[in-house]
Amino acid sequence: MKKQTICSFLAAMICISATAQLQTGENFAVTNTDAGKVRGYVHNAIFTYKGIPYAEAKRFELPQKPKPWAGIRSSLSYGPVAPLMDPTTSVQDESEFIFHHDWGYTNEDCMRVNVWTPGITDGKKRPVMFWIHGGGFTTGSSQELPSYDGENLAKKGDVVVVSINHRLNILGFLDLSAYGDKYKHSANLSIIDIKAALEWVKTNIENFGGDPNNVTIFGQSGGGAKVNTLMAMPAAKGLFHKAINQSGSFRTNMLEKATTQALTAEVLKALNLQPNQADSLQSVPFARLSEAGKKAIRVVAEQLKAAGTPVSGFGLSWGPSRDGEDLPYQLFSKEAFELSKNIPLLVGTVKNEFMPSLFQGMSNAPLDKITEFIKKQQGDKADAYLAAVKKAYPADTKPTDLIDVDVMFRPGAVVQANEKSSLKSGAPVYMYLFTYQSPVMDGKYKAVHCMELAFAFNNINRCEEMSGGTREAYALADKMSFAWINFAKKGNPNHAGLPTWPAYTTANTATMHLDNKCDVKPQLDKELFALVAPR
């Protein structure tokens, strides 16, 4: 080999080594937390830390700071996820291909935080984007979907991305407040865990290159509902400064104490425990506790139905409640909106969410079958429904488009935007509607629930099964993730790659339609929502 060739080869090897995609080591990427040192790794120039404890707790009791550890804690892989009342034991092949879940492993000691950051010792204070996973209030985790990975977003925006696991379902929401002072906060421990994670961010995030005074909470579906819940929580005020709610306004009211205490009484009954034996619940095996919780939900749901008491959202389930302590106001009350008055909000949904054609096995149904379905569903309002859908989306051509327009998630987002934007001297609201139609499986999945996640996180490369991985998908992800980043930085999603995005008001109802061609339009589905609104 010639001398010049050898030199060139060695220079190339040195260059590759200096810019290695993955860098690790026993004493590499070490930084401090208030409980001890942690060690991560660097991938694609982003420092990554996973599974760091932010709190610990006895069952049904308040989270406490984690016990300090000696030495350097390895933080290279995700920590445990919250136990699920209905563990996954089988999946549908096609939809699992689309969503590509990572279920993780469960443990009640699940309070863990993950961090992605461009730098830890460069003196920068970067905006913090604090992600809250979906799954309602009963399932999910920070690793459940590949779109949740924070590396690409951190790199693109020079921001710090944080995600968390926290207690869920009966472990996070069983109201034992009537059975002893140590359970005073038990009805909303799941949300208190999230607050504890935000407190961890406030204390520690500077060690990860983040700014504790510029924190944006964002979440989708149940995560968006948790965002709304934090906005109604007085004790969380000051821990975050902006909020993004993606498909999370489906629940406008929380349970009241009479219902949460009735659920607890039924749980005790199902386990053959007397009220003075409530402490036994702390040691009941989770599987038994879970079954008792399911039975209690069924019993109380029937009682509410018999009494004519409506339950909003997806029916009675474990979730936050107005407990008079940690959550004193209903989510969409004047008091709650006033509490978060100065928090800029980016809110929106995807066009098709839980679309009937997918869940009714009608993806390829012809027009006559679709029309028959609408008549059966809408009765004498069928013609008005068809006219309203066509007015809202005049360019749609597929027969199934007539039934797949979301009327479950978006109405709540519109209500929230209207109420918040009407506050005198309040922070701005920005509304979006994600209308991009995925080409995967011949377009069967359209803009299904969760479709926008890969775009917001700039993770098309990790989510090609859902997004299609097309050139158009990458282009939209570039625009959309930059909007999320700009909002986190300054409370405004505008940037040169999008048309001017006005703040939403009840007068302009300005809504950014995110698609291959992005456009701002006024609300076009008012008649549709009025038609399907519960009477």
Residue 356 CA to chain centroid, in angstroms? Answer: 22
Please give the domain boundaries of the chain with CATH numbers for all domains: 34-86+93-246 (3.40.50.1820), 255-322 (no CATH), 351-409+435-532 (no CATH)
* pLDDT number for residue 208: 98
Q: What is the pLDDT of residues 490-512, one digit of tens each?
A: 999 999 999 999 999 999 999 99
Residue 16's pLDDT band (cuts 50, 70, 90): very low
* pLDDT number for residue 308: 87
Task: Give me the catalytic one of 147, 221, 290, 317.
Answer: 221
Higher pLDDT, 2 or 246: 246
Look at residue 452 and tell me whether its pLDDT is greater than 70: yes
Tell me what the pLDDT averaged over the chain comes to.
94
Q: Strands across the sheet with 112-117, in order?
A: 22-23, 41-43, 46-53, 112-117, 160-165, 126-132, 210-220, 242-246, 345-350, 429-434, 511-514, 519-521
Q: Name the residue among 105, 490, 115 with its Cα closest to residue 503.
A: 490
Task: Give me the catalytic one of 353, 419, 452, 465.
Answer: 353
Lowest mean pLDDT among 41-50, 80-89, 248-257: 248-257
* pLDDT number for residue 185: 98
Q: Tell how strand 160-165 and strand 112-117 pair up.
A: antiparallel
Q: Is 312 helix (H, G, I), strand (E, B) or coil?
A: coil
Task: Give me the catalytic one of 142, 449, 465, 513.
Answer: 449
* pLDDT number for residue 251: 79
Residue 193 CA to chain centroid, in angstroms? Answer: 15
Half-sphere exposure of 39 (CA within 13 A, CB side): 12
Taking residue 58's Cβ as centre, other Cβ atoms within 10 Å add up to 11
Taking residue 153's Cβ as centre, other Cβ atoms within 10 Å add up to 23
Residue 147's pLDDT band (cuts 50, 70, 90): very high
Q: What is the pLDDT of residues 310-368, one digit of tens each?
A: 776 678 999 999 999 999 999 999 999 999 999 999 999 999 999 999 989 999 999 99
Residue listed under structure tokens 């079958």: 369
* pLDDT number for residue 535: 56
Q: What is the pLDDT of residues 271-305, one digit of tens each?
A: 999 999 999 999 999 999 999 999 999 999 999 99
353 is catalytic: yes
Give the C-alpha separation, 236 to 143, whole Å. 24
Look at residue 17 and tell me whether its pLDDT is greater than 50: no
221 is catalytic: yes
Q: What is the pLDDT of residues 165-208, one digit of tens each?
A: 999 999 999 999 999 999 999 999 999 999 999 999 999 999 99
Higher pLDDT, 52 or 7: 52
Look at residue 2 and tell me whether its pLDDT is greater than 60: no
Q: What is the pLDDT of residues 384-440, one digit of tens each?
A: 999 999 999 999 999 999 999 999 999 999 999 999 999 999 999 999 999 999 999
Give the C-alpha separation, 389 to 36, whole Å. 57
